[in-house]
Chain A
Amino acid sequence: MIAELGQFALALALAVSLALGILPMTGAAMGGATGARLMAVARPAAMTLAALAILAFGLLTALFVGNDFSVGLVASHSNLSLPLHYRIAATWGSHEGSMLLWVLILSCWTGAVAVFSTSLPLVLRARILSTMGLVAAGFLMFLLFTSNPFDRLVPPPSDGRDLNPLLQDAGMVFHPPLLYMGYVGLSVAFAFSVAGLIGGRFDAAWARWARPWTTVAWCFLTLGIALGSFWAYYELGWGGWWFWDPVENASFMPWLIATALVHSLSVTEKRGTFRSWTVLLAIIGFSLSLLGTFLVRSGVLTSVHAFATDPARGVFILAFLAFVVGGSLLLFAWRAPAIGNGPGFAAVSRESLLLANNVLLSVAMAAVLLGTLYPLVLDTLGLGKISVGPPYFDAVFYPLMAPALFLMGIGPLARWKKAELPELVARLRWAFAVSVIAALLLPLATDGFRPMTSLGLMFALWIAACVVVAVRDMLRGADGRLSLRRIGVHPASAWGMHFAHLGVAVFVAGVTLVTSYESGRELRMEVGQRIEIGGYDIRFVGLAPITGPNYDGTRGVFEIRRAGAGDAAPIAMLSPEKRVYRASGMPMTEAAIDRSLLRDVYLSMGEPIGERAWVVRAHVKPFVNWIWLGCVLMAIGGFVAAADRRYRRRALERAARALPGGQPA
């Protein structure tokens, strides 16, 4: 019964999304009383869509919680012995389930726009919600016609095949929802752009409305990617944190564009410039989200994530991609020449710096896209099968990011329209000197001259130093004295920006230090044996069999001491595990990590070689946690910025009244 109800909710949601996609859009084009009536459909329809999607998702979750094996999806992704929290997570641990999650989040974003957009002009709101309705309709059709999560299985098996052990982890519970919040959140900026293109309206008010939505989506995307990387680090057992896997790239490309978009929107809001550029970025950002979905779901590229490959699905998503992306880019080609580019700016100004950063981010995205699609292109042209790996990405990505990081320090300190170069130099010369000298000295003080380490550290310190300069200036009153009371004088968006930039500095420092100073070994270890690595003494104390709810395995017990500590009490006991999941027979490596802000000691078990000997992988990774800490800081900064008072409803209403563009376009 539950499955049929879920199916019904999805079918109803499709009908509602089609109504939402067609009626208000038509109404906006018609105008007049009938048009107004049609546009009035938008809000209730958007909220109904959200309610139906929540219902369908809730029902699928209920099926998983109750382990209803008469539903095919449950039978293939759950098991009687699977713990409750993983049964809930299993809801989105499959292709069908994750597409339903996508629809759920898209519908919720649509509902949220409907709820919070009362200050928007009626026509603009109708077009935005309509666009989102059309996108939702496409995904609902995809679900219902090619990947129905509620399909029954006859006859039902007595037990399910269990969730992929890789996904039985807390990281997996939160990674997809966060990532999709970001991916799908970009649909809001996309819908704003399409609506703006149709209406031909792109002023400061438009940017002000679109900005908080984009920033929030960017924050979620940042967190989602960071969590995915964190999960890969401790769950895959290789000790790496980024692999340039096609699917990682698929989430990273929208992030690069969303980052550019967040900055471009600030220029459009503050100065009215960069309009067509902003619109194009918004379209590309969401297009890349869709492309990512296509790459993952169609099996065009090999990847650890491609758990569902079915050509029919690929054809559907591709057709949908062509419709949404092709359609919106055509609309752009047709309408954008009329937008105009707004007031000009000098060669040295905050605009020009942001433009340079935008260009670098976009080129970086193009480079990642090229590397991701290159194997496909060669294969298609019959030129052979290759794979593009980290050497390519490292070689093109770092040189592009280096100038971007440098400009990032200056940007927030430069004036709009025209900045005086001598003044900038005067303000920043100390920051520059401090970062260069400290970056050179730090490696020297550790183990000698390392140019690449110094370069990475220089960028991190430079960004941090520039933030310090900016914050000092913000806290300095007219009398020249620093006062914390001045925090309230500046808008939250300014504080959020500096906080996020500081996050980038922390991230860059983490990446630089871990790449330069990590040490790792893979070796045969016998019980009782000890090794020394990266200044730590690791002793293999024993082996113990383990029995989990749905797996069996072996646990190694290791004592960690500082090197040369003799037989002092160990600073940590680590117990990496090798599990074999009963239902699938799949082996899994559970790494054990002793974490701290300054370093991780990372152990994972490979294969047994004898009665009491195992292949053990041991790493010491200095500052690795700064990578994810930096991402969290970026996201917090973004949330603070999005919470700025001027985006709140009343302020937006005031702005809408004050601006001549406030009338329906």
Chain B
Amino acid sequence: MRAMRFVLPVAVFAVIAWFLMRGLDRDPREIPSPLIGKPAPMFSLPVTHDLSRAWTPEAMRGQVWLLNVWGSWCSACQVEHPVFNDLAKSGELPIVGLAWKDMPDNSIAWLRKLGNPYMVVVSDIKGGVAIDYGVYGAPETFLIDQHGVIRFKQVGPVTRDVLQNKVLPMVRQLRGS
């Protein structure tokens, strides 16, 4: 029994080490969104390139599409932008841009410089719609199905890996069903 006492520290450490090992392949930033499986919140926002015109997600009914929240002030958005440019070129999936807390002039200048992969860009200047979508940092991207239900959410840049291995397979599945 006395010897047990001295083994205790190493046993405790073994348990901690096991959890640390299991924890390695988990991403603590990946927070499940309560919106998954719920209808995408409705909104009506001015189109960035023509502010007199309003746009609502109703226009996308019947299609699978991506809603990308970005801003010309956001550096991580520049990282994912080439991925979207390529996706737009392939024509596989329509992307709608939501310029979050961004002045339309800045958004347009940014798109002119880096390319515009968006079917349409809308301006959420005050950030109210982003709140409905639970956005807490840009970029965030939502995959929305034919019935207007959010199926997937990416926090942070959409990388090629995420697009190929998560988003596109899900898109095929949604279109198949």
Contact = CB atoms under 8 A, between A and B. Distances in A.
Interface string A277-315: 000100110010001001000111110000000010011
Interface stretch (B18-26, B44-52, B111-119, B162-170): B18-26
Given A280-B9, A385-B32, A311 B17 contact: no
A585 B6 contact: no
A441 to B, nearest CB: 46
A613 interface: no
A651 interface: no
A309 to B, nearest CB: 9
A318 interface: yes
Contacts of A332: 6, 9-10
B54 interface: no
Contact of B6 (A284, A302, A336): A336
B131 interface: no
A483 interface: no
B2 interface: yes
Contact of A322 (B9, B17, B32): B17
A219 B38 CA distance: 55
Contact of A584 (B16, B26, B27, B75): B75
A476 B147 CA distance: 88
A333 B10 contact: yes
Interface in B36-87: 73, 75
A311 B17 CA distance: 15
A330 interface: yes
B174 interface: no
Dominant SS among interface residues on chain A: helix
B13 interface: yes
B13 A325 contact: yes
Contacts of B7: 333
A369 to B, nearest CB: 8
Dominant SS among interface residues on chain B: helix
Contacts of B2: 337
A333 B9 CA distance: 8
Contact of A326 (B6, B13, B24): B13
Contacts of A158: none
Contact of B13 (A301, A302, A329, A336): A329
B2 to A, nearest CB: 7
A332 B25 CA distance: 31
A380 interface: yes
B29 interface: yes
A367 interface: no
A379 B9 contact: no
Contacts of A284: 9
Interface stretch (A69-77, A370-378, A389-397, A462-470): A370-378
B28 A300 contact: yes
Interface in B81-126: none
Contacts of B21: 318
A380 B75 contact: no
B19 A376 contact: yes
A321 interface: yes
Given A300-B20, A300-B24, A321-B17, A330 B10 contact: yes
A373 B19 contact: yes
Nearest to B3: A337
A137 B31 CA distance: 38
A380 B26 contact: yes
B13 A287 contact: yes
A107 interface: no
A625 interface: no
A373 B21 CA distance: 12
A379 B6 contact: no
A373 B17 CA distance: 11
Contacts of A299: 27-28
B25 A311 contact: yes
B20 A294 contact: yes
Contacts of B14: 326
A193 interface: no
A300 B23 contact: yes
Nearest to A334: B6
B20 A318 contact: yes
A342 B106 CA distance: 75
A454 interface: no
Nearest to A338: B6
A321 B35 CA distance: 39
B23 A376 contact: yes
A276 interface: yes
Nearest to B4: A333
Contacts of A283: 9
Contacts of B29: 302
B66 to A, nearest CB: 25
A301 B24 CA distance: 9
Given A318-B17, A326-B17, A301 B28 contact: yes
Contact of B28 (A294, A302, A326): A302
B24 A585 contact: no
A584 to B, nearest CB: 7
Interface in A79-113: none
A318 B19 CA distance: 11
Which of B26, B27, B28: most chain A Cβ within 10 A?
Answer: B28
A377 B19 contact: yes
Nearest to A298: B24
Contact of B23 (A321, A325, A380, A586): A380
Given A373-B19, A376-B20, A276 B6 contact: yes
Nearest to A380: B22
A385 B17 contact: no
B10 A326 contact: yes
Given A311-B24, A375-B28, A585-B75, A380 B19 contact: yes
A380 B21 CA distance: 10
Nearest to B73: A585
Contacts of B27: 299
Contacts of A276: 6
Nearest to A384: B32
Contacts of B19: 373, 376-377, 380
Nearest to A366: B12
B146 to A, nearest CB: 30
19 contacts: A276-B6, A284-B9, A294-B20, A300-B20, A300-B23, A300-B26, A302-B29, A321-B17, A326-B14, A332-B6, A332-B9, A333-B7, A373-B16, A375-B28, A376-B23, A379-B28, A380-B26, A584-B75, A585-B75
Interface of B: 2-3, 6-7, 9-10, 13-14, 16-17, 19-29, 31-32, 73, 75
The 8 tightest CB contacts between A and B, nearest first, are A329-B10, A380-B22, A302-B28, A300-B23, A376-B23, A333-B7, A333-B6, A314-B24
Given A311-B25, A333-B7, A376-B23, 19 more contacts: A298-B24, A299-B28, A300-B24, A300-B26, A311-B24, A315-B24, A318-B17, A326-B14, A326-B17, A329-B10, A336-B6, A337-B3, A337-B6, A376-B19, A376-B28, A379-B23, A385-B32, A584-B75, A585-B75
